[in-house]
Homo-oligomer: A and B are copies of this chain.
Protein backbone atom coordinates (compact mmCIF):
# COMPACT_ATOMS: atom_id res chain seq x y z
CA UNK A 1 0.00 0.00 0.00
CA UNK A 2 0.99 3.63 -0.49
CA UNK A 3 0.19 5.46 2.73
CA UNK A 4 -0.35 9.23 2.81
CA UNK A 5 0.50 10.97 6.07
CA UNK A 6 -0.69 14.42 7.11
CA UNK A 7 -0.69 16.67 10.19
CA UNK A 8 -3.50 19.20 10.80
CA UNK A 9 -4.36 21.96 13.27
CA UNK A 10 -1.96 23.74 15.63
CA UNK A 11 1.59 22.42 15.75
CA UNK A 12 2.57 20.35 18.75
CA UNK A 13 5.82 18.88 20.08
CA UNK A 14 5.85 15.16 19.23
CA UNK A 15 4.33 15.38 15.74
CA UNK A 16 7.66 14.44 14.17
CA UNK A 17 7.95 11.45 16.51
CA UNK A 18 4.60 10.18 15.24
CA UNK A 19 5.51 10.77 11.58
CA UNK A 20 8.84 8.98 12.01
CA UNK A 21 7.19 6.00 13.72
CA UNK A 22 4.46 5.60 11.10
CA UNK A 23 7.03 5.73 8.29
CA UNK A 24 9.50 3.38 9.92
CA UNK A 25 6.97 0.74 10.92
CA UNK A 26 5.08 0.95 7.61
CA UNK A 27 8.24 0.45 5.58
CA UNK A 28 9.05 -2.57 7.76
CA UNK A 29 5.54 -3.80 7.06
CA UNK A 30 6.25 -3.63 3.34
CA UNK A 31 4.40 -0.44 2.49
CA UNK A 32 5.35 2.89 0.96
CA UNK A 33 4.78 6.28 2.60
CA UNK A 34 4.27 9.74 1.14
CA UNK A 35 3.98 13.09 2.91
CA UNK A 36 0.98 15.36 2.41
CA UNK A 37 1.96 18.97 3.06
CA UNK A 38 0.03 21.38 5.31
CA UNK A 39 -2.78 19.13 6.48
CA UNK A 40 -5.92 18.62 4.46
CA UNK A 41 -4.96 21.55 2.26
CA UNK A 42 -2.13 19.49 0.80
CA UNK A 43 -4.36 16.77 -0.50
CA UNK A 44 -6.77 19.30 -2.00
CA UNK A 45 -3.84 21.01 -3.74
CA UNK A 46 -1.80 17.89 -4.63
CA UNK A 47 1.02 19.20 -2.46
CA UNK A 48 3.08 16.11 -1.62
CA UNK A 49 6.65 15.40 -0.50
CA UNK A 50 8.80 12.24 -0.38
CA UNK A 51 8.64 10.60 3.03
CA UNK A 52 11.12 7.74 3.25
CA UNK A 53 13.80 6.71 5.76
CA UNK A 54 16.06 9.59 4.69
CA UNK A 55 13.32 12.15 5.18
CA UNK A 56 12.73 11.11 8.80
CA UNK A 57 16.38 10.92 9.80
CA UNK A 58 17.10 13.18 12.76
CA UNK A 59 13.57 14.55 13.19
CA UNK A 60 12.71 12.84 16.50
CA UNK A 61 14.04 15.61 18.80
CA UNK A 62 12.67 18.45 16.70
CA UNK A 63 9.52 20.38 17.48
CA UNK A 64 6.84 21.28 14.95
CA UNK A 65 6.07 19.07 11.95
CA UNK A 66 8.22 18.52 8.88
CA UNK A 67 5.00 18.17 6.88
CA UNK A 68 3.70 21.63 7.80
CA UNK A 69 0.14 22.08 8.94
CA UNK A 70 -2.98 24.15 8.31
CA UNK A 71 -6.51 24.51 9.61
CA UNK A 72 -8.10 23.75 6.25
CA UNK A 73 -11.29 21.72 6.68
CA UNK A 74 -12.16 19.51 3.70
CA UNK A 75 -15.88 19.91 4.35
CA UNK A 76 -15.70 23.69 4.23
CA UNK A 77 -14.12 23.60 0.76
CA UNK A 78 -16.11 23.29 -2.44
CA UNK A 79 -16.41 19.60 -3.44
CA UNK A 80 -13.84 18.89 -0.75
CA UNK A 81 -14.70 15.24 -0.21
CA UNK A 82 -14.80 14.40 -3.91
CA UNK A 83 -11.51 16.19 -4.54
CA UNK A 84 -9.79 14.29 -1.71
CA UNK A 85 -10.99 10.96 -3.09
CA UNK A 86 -10.02 11.92 -6.62
CA UNK A 87 -6.61 13.34 -5.72
CA UNK A 88 -5.78 10.24 -3.66
CA UNK A 89 -6.59 8.07 -6.66
CA UNK A 90 -4.52 10.30 -8.99
CA UNK A 91 -1.51 10.17 -6.65
CA UNK A 92 -1.91 6.43 -6.10
CA UNK A 93 -2.45 6.92 -2.37
CA UNK A 94 -4.32 3.93 -0.95
CA UNK A 95 -4.95 5.14 2.56
CA UNK A 96 -4.30 7.95 5.02
CA UNK A 97 -2.87 8.45 8.47
CA UNK A 98 -4.32 11.72 9.78
CA UNK A 99 -2.64 13.23 12.83
CA UNK A 100 -4.64 16.01 14.40
CA UNK A 101 -7.22 17.28 16.85
CA UNK A 102 -10.96 17.31 16.93
CA UNK A 103 -11.29 19.15 13.64
CA UNK A 104 -8.74 17.08 11.70
CA UNK A 105 -10.09 13.80 13.05
CA UNK A 106 -13.65 14.99 12.41
CA UNK A 107 -12.79 15.28 8.73
CA UNK A 108 -11.08 11.86 8.89
CA UNK A 109 -14.20 10.36 10.42
CA UNK A 110 -16.45 11.76 7.69
CA UNK A 111 -14.05 10.65 4.94
CA UNK A 112 -14.05 7.17 6.45
CA UNK A 113 -17.83 7.09 6.22
CA UNK A 114 -17.47 8.15 2.58
CA UNK A 115 -15.27 5.11 1.96
CA UNK A 116 -11.77 6.50 2.41
CA UNK A 117 -9.33 4.17 4.19
CA UNK A 118 -8.14 6.27 7.07
CA UNK A 119 -6.53 5.82 10.46
CA UNK A 120 -6.05 8.59 13.04
CA UNK A 121 -3.66 9.76 15.71
CA UNK A 122 -5.09 12.20 18.28
CA UNK A 123 -3.25 15.47 18.84
CA UNK A 124 -4.00 18.43 21.10
CA UNK A 125 -1.59 20.32 23.24
CA UNK A 126 -4.49 21.14 25.56
CA UNK A 127 -5.06 17.47 26.52
CA UNK A 128 -8.84 17.92 26.12
CA UNK A 129 -9.64 15.02 23.77
CA UNK A 130 -11.97 12.62 25.46
CA UNK A 131 -10.88 9.41 23.75
CA UNK A 132 -7.35 9.27 25.13
CA UNK A 133 -5.86 9.62 28.63
CA UNK A 134 -3.10 12.03 27.62
CA UNK A 135 -2.07 13.58 24.32
CA UNK A 136 1.53 14.17 23.20
CA UNK A 137 2.70 17.78 23.35
CA UNK A 138 0.84 18.35 26.59
CA UNK A 139 3.75 17.24 28.78
CA UNK A 140 6.13 19.54 26.90
CA UNK A 141 3.78 22.50 27.26
CA UNK A 142 3.35 21.81 30.99
CA UNK A 143 7.11 21.65 31.49
CA UNK A 144 7.69 24.93 29.63
CA UNK A 145 4.98 26.63 31.68
CA UNK A 146 6.36 25.16 34.91
CA UNK A 147 9.86 26.38 34.12
CA UNK A 148 8.44 29.85 33.43
CA UNK A 149 6.60 29.82 36.78
CA UNK A 150 9.83 28.76 38.51
CA UNK A 151 11.55 31.78 36.97
CA UNK A 152 8.75 34.15 37.94
CA UNK A 153 8.93 32.88 41.52
CA UNK A 154 12.40 34.32 42.02
CA UNK A 155 11.36 37.67 40.59
CA UNK A 156 8.15 37.76 42.63
CA UNK A 157 10.03 36.94 45.84
CA UNK A 158 12.64 39.63 45.29
CA UNK A 159 10.06 42.33 44.65
CA UNK A 160 7.04 41.48 46.86
CA UNK A 161 4.88 41.05 43.82
CA UNK A 162 1.86 39.21 42.57
CA UNK A 163 2.68 37.48 39.28
CA UNK A 164 -0.13 36.42 36.94
CA UNK A 165 0.83 33.79 34.36
CA UNK A 166 -1.50 33.16 31.44
CA UNK A 167 -1.11 29.70 29.91
CA UNK A 168 -2.85 27.90 27.04
CA UNK A 169 -6.23 26.25 27.49
CA UNK A 170 -9.17 27.79 25.69
CA UNK A 171 -11.78 25.22 26.70
CA UNK A 172 -10.07 23.14 29.38
CA UNK A 173 -7.61 24.02 32.12
CA UNK A 174 -5.30 20.99 31.98
CA UNK A 175 -2.10 22.95 31.37
CA UNK A 176 -3.02 25.49 34.05
CA UNK A 177 -3.73 22.81 36.66
CA UNK A 178 -0.66 20.67 35.94
CA UNK A 179 1.75 23.61 35.59
CA UNK A 180 0.09 25.31 38.55
CA UNK A 181 0.58 22.29 40.81
CA UNK A 182 4.12 21.75 39.52
CA UNK A 183 5.03 25.42 39.85
CA UNK A 184 3.54 25.84 43.30
CA UNK A 185 0.83 28.31 42.25
CA UNK A 186 -1.15 30.07 44.97
CA UNK A 187 -4.27 30.32 42.81
CA UNK A 188 -5.22 28.48 39.59
CA UNK A 189 -8.08 29.72 37.41
CA UNK A 190 -9.58 27.48 34.71
CA UNK A 191 -12.48 27.54 32.24
CA UNK A 192 -14.23 24.71 34.08
CA UNK A 193 -14.72 26.79 37.21
CA UNK A 194 -15.76 30.44 36.69
CA UNK A 195 -14.15 32.51 39.37
CA UNK A 196 -15.03 35.42 41.61
CA UNK A 197 -12.20 37.92 41.48
CA UNK A 198 -12.85 39.12 45.00
CA UNK A 199 -12.28 35.62 46.33
CA UNK A 200 -9.00 35.50 44.42
CA UNK A 201 -7.96 38.82 45.96
CA UNK A 202 -8.96 37.59 49.39
CA UNK A 203 -6.71 34.53 49.07
CA UNK A 204 -3.81 36.76 48.07
CA UNK A 205 -4.44 39.28 50.83
CA UNK A 206 -4.64 36.57 53.51
CA UNK A 207 -1.45 35.07 52.18
CA UNK A 208 0.36 38.40 52.54
CA UNK A 209 -1.14 38.84 55.99
CA UNK A 210 0.52 35.63 57.15
CA UNK A 211 3.90 36.93 55.99
CA UNK A 212 4.19 35.70 52.41
CA UNK A 213 5.38 38.63 50.35
CA UNK A 214 4.57 37.27 46.91
CA UNK A 215 1.90 35.27 45.10
CA UNK A 216 1.67 33.38 41.82
CA UNK A 217 -1.66 33.21 39.96
CA UNK A 218 -1.86 30.77 37.03
CA UNK A 219 -4.73 31.40 34.65
CA UNK A 220 -5.84 29.50 31.55
CA UNK A 221 -6.49 31.74 28.56
CA UNK A 222 -10.11 30.54 28.52
CA UNK A 223 -10.81 31.04 32.23
CA UNK A 224 -14.18 32.65 32.88
CA UNK A 225 -15.21 35.35 35.30
CA UNK A 226 -18.47 34.66 37.14
CA UNK A 227 -21.13 36.80 35.50
CA UNK A 228 -22.23 38.30 38.81
CA UNK A 229 -18.71 39.58 39.03
CA UNK A 230 -19.31 42.09 36.28
CA UNK A 231 -21.88 44.00 38.30
CA UNK A 232 -21.24 45.24 41.82
CA UNK A 233 -23.76 45.91 44.57
CA UNK A 234 -24.54 49.35 43.27
CA UNK A 235 -25.28 47.99 39.84
CA UNK A 236 -22.14 49.41 38.25
CA UNK A 237 -19.71 47.19 36.40
CA UNK A 238 -16.82 46.06 38.53
CA UNK A 239 -14.60 45.28 35.57
CA UNK A 240 -15.68 48.50 33.98
CA UNK A 241 -13.01 48.59 31.33
CA UNK A 242 -13.28 44.96 30.33
CA UNK A 243 -15.75 43.61 27.84
CA UNK A 244 -17.06 40.22 28.85
CA UNK A 245 -19.06 38.13 26.40
CA UNK A 246 -22.19 36.11 27.16
CA UNK A 247 -20.08 33.24 28.52
CA UNK A 248 -18.08 35.42 30.89
CA UNK A 249 -14.96 35.34 28.66
CA UNK A 250 -12.87 38.47 28.48
CA UNK A 251 -13.27 39.84 24.97
CA UNK A 252 -10.28 41.98 24.15
CA UNK A 253 -6.65 41.68 25.22
CA UNK A 254 -5.56 38.62 27.13
CA UNK A 255 -7.32 37.75 30.35
CA UNK A 256 -3.95 37.63 32.11
CA UNK A 257 -3.30 41.33 31.65
CA UNK A 258 -6.83 42.30 32.61
CA UNK A 259 -6.82 40.26 35.78
CA UNK A 260 -3.39 41.54 36.79
CA UNK A 261 -4.59 45.14 36.64
CA UNK A 262 -7.69 44.31 38.68
CA UNK A 263 -5.73 42.42 41.35
CA UNK A 264 -3.35 45.36 41.75
CA UNK A 265 -6.26 47.75 42.00
CA UNK A 266 -8.17 45.70 44.57
CA UNK A 267 -5.33 44.40 46.76
CA UNK A 268 -2.86 47.26 46.47
CA UNK A 269 -0.02 44.79 45.77
CA UNK A 270 2.19 45.41 42.75
CA UNK A 271 1.00 42.91 40.13
CA UNK A 272 2.53 41.89 36.81
CA UNK A 273 1.27 39.64 34.03
CA UNK A 274 3.16 37.29 31.74
CA UNK A 275 1.42 35.73 28.74
CA UNK A 276 3.41 32.65 27.75
CA UNK A 277 1.81 32.25 24.33
CA UNK A 278 3.48 30.41 21.48
CA UNK A 279 6.63 29.32 23.31
CA UNK A 280 4.46 26.68 25.01
CA UNK A 281 3.99 24.75 21.77
CA UNK A 282 7.46 24.99 20.30
CA UNK A 283 10.79 23.35 20.76
CA UNK A 284 12.10 19.88 21.39
CA UNK A 285 9.53 17.51 22.93
CA UNK A 286 10.06 15.99 26.37
CA UNK A 287 10.95 12.30 26.63
CA UNK A 288 7.35 11.57 27.64
CA UNK A 289 5.98 13.13 24.45
CA UNK A 290 8.57 11.48 22.23
CA UNK A 291 7.76 8.05 23.70
CA UNK A 292 4.00 8.62 23.51
CA UNK A 293 4.22 9.95 19.94
CA UNK A 294 6.39 7.02 18.91
CA UNK A 295 4.05 4.44 20.49
CA UNK A 296 0.99 6.02 18.84
CA UNK A 297 2.74 6.14 15.47
CA UNK A 298 3.83 2.50 15.58
CA UNK A 299 0.32 1.49 16.65
CA UNK A 300 -1.29 3.53 13.86
CA UNK A 301 1.00 1.85 11.33
CA UNK A 302 -0.20 -1.51 12.64
CA UNK A 303 -3.84 -0.40 12.30
CA UNK A 304 -3.09 0.44 8.68
CA UNK A 305 -1.32 -2.89 8.13
CA UNK A 306 -4.29 -4.78 9.56
CA UNK A 307 -6.75 -2.65 7.61
CA UNK A 308 -8.50 -1.49 10.75
CA UNK A 309 -9.90 1.68 9.11
CA UNK A 310 -11.91 4.29 10.95
CA UNK A 311 -9.91 3.83 14.15
CA UNK A 312 -7.31 5.87 15.93
CA UNK A 313 -4.53 4.99 18.38
CA UNK A 314 -5.22 6.11 21.94
CA UNK A 315 -3.54 5.92 25.35
CA UNK A 316 -5.53 4.14 28.08
CA UNK A 317 -3.66 3.62 31.33
CA UNK A 318 -0.30 2.21 30.31
CA UNK A 319 -1.55 0.77 27.02
CA UNK A 320 -2.11 1.98 23.47
CA UNK A 321 -5.51 0.84 22.21
CA UNK A 322 -7.72 1.29 19.15
CA UNK A 323 -10.63 3.72 19.50
CA UNK A 324 -13.21 4.61 16.87
CA UNK A 325 -12.51 7.93 15.17
CA UNK A 326 -16.00 9.20 15.88
CA UNK A 327 -15.31 8.91 19.61
CA UNK A 328 -12.50 11.46 19.28
CA UNK A 329 -15.01 13.95 18.04
CA UNK A 330 -17.21 13.59 21.06
CA UNK A 331 -17.24 15.46 24.31
CA UNK A 332 -14.47 17.72 25.50
CA UNK A 333 -12.35 16.19 28.28
CA UNK A 334 -12.44 18.79 31.04
CA UNK A 335 -10.24 18.90 34.13
CA UNK A 336 -10.85 16.16 36.68
CA UNK A 337 -12.22 17.92 39.74
CA UNK A 338 -10.35 15.52 42.05
CA UNK A 339 -7.15 16.85 40.54
CA UNK A 340 -8.30 20.43 40.94
CA UNK A 341 -8.94 19.69 44.63
CA UNK A 342 -5.34 18.55 44.96
CA UNK A 343 -4.31 21.90 43.48
CA UNK A 344 -6.60 23.77 45.90
CA UNK A 345 -4.74 22.22 48.83
CA UNK A 346 -1.96 24.67 48.04
CA UNK A 347 -4.03 27.80 47.44
CA UNK A 348 -3.22 30.71 49.66
Q: Determine which of B21, B183, B273, B287 lies in contact with A182 in the assembled complex, contact meaning CB atoms within 8 Å.
A: B287
| Residues on the B chain within 8 Å of A38, using CB | 160
Does A63 belong to the interface (CB within 8 Å)?
Answer: yes
Does A184 belong to the interface (CB within 8 Å)?
Answer: yes
Q: Determine which of B64, B133, B154 lies in contact with A64 in the assembled complex, contact meaning CB atoms within 8 Å.
A: B154
Q: Known interface pairs A63-B155, A287-B182. Does A133 touch B318 (Cβ–Cβ under 8 Å)?
A: yes
Asked if residues A28 and B275 are in contact (CB atoms below 8 Å), the reply is: no
Asked if residues A154 and B290 are in contact (CB atoms below 8 Å), the reply is: no
Name which residue of chain B comes closest to A161, CB basis. B278
Does A85 belong to the interface (CB within 8 Å)?
Answer: no
Asked if residues A278 and B288 are in contact (CB atoms below 8 Å), the reply is: no
Asked if residues A278 and B287 are in contact (CB atoms below 8 Å), the reply is: no
Asked if residues A283 and B150 are in contact (CB atoms below 8 Å), the reply is: yes
Does A194 belong to the interface (CB within 8 Å)?
Answer: no
Q: Known interface pairs A291-B182, A317-B133. Does A283 touch B11 (Cβ–Cβ under 8 Å)?
A: no
Q: Known interface pairs A274-B279, A286-B143. Does A64 touch B345 (Cβ–Cβ under 8 Å)?
A: no
Q: Known interface pairs A184-B61, A317-B133. Does A155 touch B11 (Cβ–Cβ under 8 Å)?
A: yes
| Residues on the B chain within 8 Å of A25, using CB | 345
| Residues on the B chain within 8 Å of A133, using CB | 317-318
- In the complex, A342→B150 CA distance in Å? 30
CB neighbors of B among A113-158 (8 A): 133, 139, 142-148, 150-155, 157-158
CB neighbors of B among A152-208 (8 A): 152-155, 157-160, 163, 178-179, 181-184
A122 to chain B, nearest CB (A): 16
Does A89 belong to the interface (CB within 8 Å)?
Answer: no
| Residues on the B chain within 8 Å of A151, using CB | 63, 144, 278-279, 281-283
Does A69 belong to the interface (CB within 8 Å)?
Answer: yes
Asked if residues A159 and B69 are in contact (CB atoms below 8 Å), the reply is: yes
Asked if residues B288 and A139 are in contact (CB atoms below 8 Å), the reply is: yes
Asked if residues B278 and A152 are in contact (CB atoms below 8 Å), the reply is: yes
Asked if residues B155 and A294 are in contact (CB atoms below 8 Å), the reply is: no
Contact surface of A with B, Cβ cutoff 8 Å:
10-11, 13, 15, 21, 24-25, 28, 38, 60-65, 68-70, 133, 139, 142-148, 150-155, 157-160, 163, 178-179, 181-184, 213, 272-279, 281-284, 286-288, 290-291, 294-295, 298, 316-319, 336, 338-339, 342, 345-346
